Amino acid sequence: MHYFVNMPPGRSKNLTIVAKATYYLPLFIITLVITLAVFSPLAHSKNVEQTLTLSSAIARTLEDNPQLKVFSFREQALLGKQQTQALKPRYELDFEAENFTGTGDIGTFKSAEYTLSLSSILEMGGKRNARIGVAKSQLDQVEAKRKITALNLLSEVTRRYIDVIAAQERLLLANQATLLAKETLQEVKNRSKAGVTPEAEVKRAIAALEHAKLIASSEQQQLHYSKMTLAMMWRETSPSFTRVEGNLYHFSADIDFDTLYNKVKNNPEILTYAAEERLRDAQLRLAKTESSANIKWSVGIKQIQDINDTALTAGFSMPLFAAKRNTGAIIAAQAKRDEVKVKKASTLLALRQQLYRAYANRKQAIFNVNSLRVNIIPTLESALDETKVAFQGGLYSYLDYLSVRQELLSAQRAMIESATSALGYGIEIEQLIAEPLPANQYSLTALSVKDY
């Protein structure tokens, strides 16, 4: 999945992170394409092991998250079932004794007849192949569900990763606001000593500083929580990293909606319906084979004590009216197969609506970020510089200066939230189309992930 970011105006550029993922697990492929380029001192931590990358977070999740591990057990169970379904009908050894006791001339064992026979069933209509087909289709269905789970996991770990980056940005902004509040307090104190500012404004500046410290403390706690939720994706109860690499403000190239919707057919949920449809077809074929009656046969040897002789025996049996009795099962199997087609069409419609919502919201969020970054924030930064000079010269009051400062901080927070939303909607789009958004302006390096 792609994430491209720029830093806000007035700040050095941070890391640009590009991540691309297609999905691969047993019987299908996940290729993770991740390129990391570092542009600022912020990305060069003194302790490199404590800085987490997106590729590392994804690898840890695929390695340790239990949601994917259950599919190997389901696969083993179905392989065992398939082995059973492939067996031919069993042979039976029968022994029968007649007339071995009675009254009169029969006596005890004088007129006994013993029969030893071997019997089995001759399956008609291709029942064995139909059973094997059902078992294989069930394996395909497990594959499709595995792909959905893998896609959801990769999307979720990326969302949580972006949440940590956003929390880091908010904490950095809160620390900058605290530093600005300290500088403002010192300026107000100097003006108060000079007798040009009342003591009440000093108290207000002190309160503003304490409030900035509260916000910074809250953002620190939110960052810790975000790291905890990310680490839980690979079952870590305490994060082993201190920060993550990345920034928020440069986005992948846009694609028109119709092109995106055409890719929705590759969504694992749609592929699941294709697998389910194949399963229902196999079940329908199996139901139709039941219309052909099986033939039970037997051959054996019969010992007749009365004449002290042996004879061969043979026989067969088959049920009558099997096709007529199986009509209901065929109708039920056809109805289940047709139901899958309707459900698939309904899901496609729902995915279209979901895709359009993510597409429109992403465009609006990117527009908001660009407007804030290019027009609003530079204007407010300039206004803050001019207001500070006027405040120091006694032309503006502390309230005027505080108001402009708060407007700038609000705009910067809004840009962080809009950028986070834009990346979040980008993840949702990639999850729906089951492929990454384009990023041709960056070189891409493939990173293979082992089977699970």
pLDDT per position as a tens digit, 425-449: 999 888 888 877 765 322 222 233 3
Say which residue, 277 or 218, is predicted with more confidence.
218
10 falls within a domain: no
State whether 257 and 287 are in the same domain.
yes
pLDDT confidence tier of residue 163, bands split at 50, 70 and 90: very high
State whether 347 and 236 are in the same domain.
yes
pLDDT at position 102, please?
Answer: 64
Q: What is the 3-state secondary structure (H, E, C) of 321-374?
A: CHHHHCHHHHHHHHHHHHHHHHHHHHHHHHHHHHHHHHHHHHHHHHHHHHHHHH
Residue 364's nearest CA partner among 442, 251, 259 is: 251
296 falls within a domain: yes
State whether 171 and 187 are in the same domain.
yes
Compute the distance between CA of residue 302 and CA of residue 314 in angstroms, rounded to an integer. Answer: 10
Least confident of 98-102, 169-173, 190-194, 317-321: 98-102
State whether 94 and 74 are in the same domain.
no
Average pLDDT, the chain: 78
Q: Is the pLDDT score of 29 beyond 80?
A: no
- Number of other CB atoms surrounding residue 259 within 10 Å: 9
pLDDT at position 324, please?
Answer: 77
Residues near 366 by beta carbon (within 8 Å), at least 6 away in sequence: 251, 254, 418, 422
Domain count, the chain: 2
Contact 1, 430 (CB under 8 A): yes
368 falls within a domain: yes
Residue 176's nearest CA partner among 208, 216, 206, 211 is: 216
State whether 155 and 128 are in the same domain.
yes
- pLDDT tens, 287-305? 878 877 778 888 888 887 7
Say which residue, 409 or 315, is predicted with more confidence.
409
State whether 405 and 306 are in the same domain.
no
CATH of the domain at 255: 1.20.1600.10
- pLDDT tens, 98-136? 877 766 666 666 677 888 888 888 777 787 888 888 888
State whether 186 and 106 are in the same domain.
no
Q: Is the pLDDT score of 145 beyond 50?
A: yes
State whether 104 and 208 are in the same domain.
no
Distances (CA, A) of 105 to 108, 309, 405: 9, 19, 122
Mean local confidence (pLDDT), 53-78? 82
4 falls within a domain: no
Compute the distance between CA of residue 193 and CA of residue 191 in angstroms, rounded to an integer. Answer: 5
Contact 192, 199 (CB under 8 A): yes
Number of helices (H), then strands (E), belonging to the chain: the values are 10, 9
Compute the distance between CA of residue 107 and CA of residue 101 in angstroms, rounded to an integer. Answer: 6
Compute the distance between CA of residue 445 and CA of residue 37 in angstroms, rounded to an integer. Answer: 12
- Number of other CB atoms surrounding residue 138 within 10 Å: 23
11 falls within a domain: no
Contact 169, 15 (CB under 8 A): no
Contact 10, 201 (CB under 8 A): no
State whether 248 and 377 are in the same domain.
yes
State whether 68 and 150 are in the same domain.
yes
- pLDDT tens, 307-342? 778 888 888 888 887 777 778 888 888 888 888 888
End-to-end CA distance of the chain: 21
Q: Percentage of the chain surpassing pLDDT 90?
A: 25
Q: Is the pLDDT score of 6 beyond 50?
A: no
CATH of the domain at 96: 3.30.1300
Give the three-class secondary structure for 184: helix
Q: In terms of residue numbers, what domain contains 199?
A: 16-88+123-291+326-448
Give the three-class secondary structure for 37: strand
Residue 415's nearest CA partner among 253, 247, 303, 293 is: 247
Compute the distance between CA of residue 44 and CA of residue 61 in angstroms, rounded to an integer. Answer: 24
2 falls within a domain: no
Mean local confidence (pLDDT), 333-358? 88
State whether 115 and 177 are in the same domain.
no
HSE on the CB side for 159, CA within 13 Å? 17
Contact 7, 14 (CB under 8 A): yes
Global confidence as pTM: 0.70
Compute the distance between CA of residue 73 and CA of residue 321 in angstroms, rounded to an integer. Answer: 41
Say which residue, 82 or 375, is predicted with more confidence.
375
Q: What is the CA radius of gyration of the chain?
A: 37
5 falls within a domain: no
State whether 339 and 192 are in the same domain.
yes
- Most distant CA pair in the chain, distance: 141
3 falls within a domain: no
pLDDT at position 304, please?
Answer: 79
Structure-token pair, residue 390: 């006027």
- Number of other CB atoms surrounding residue 357 within 10 Å: 12
Count of positions (residues) in the chain: 452
pLDDT confidence tier of residue 374, bands split at 50, 70 and 90: very high
pLDDT at position 410, please?
Answer: 94
**Tokens 């990769």 appear where?**
154
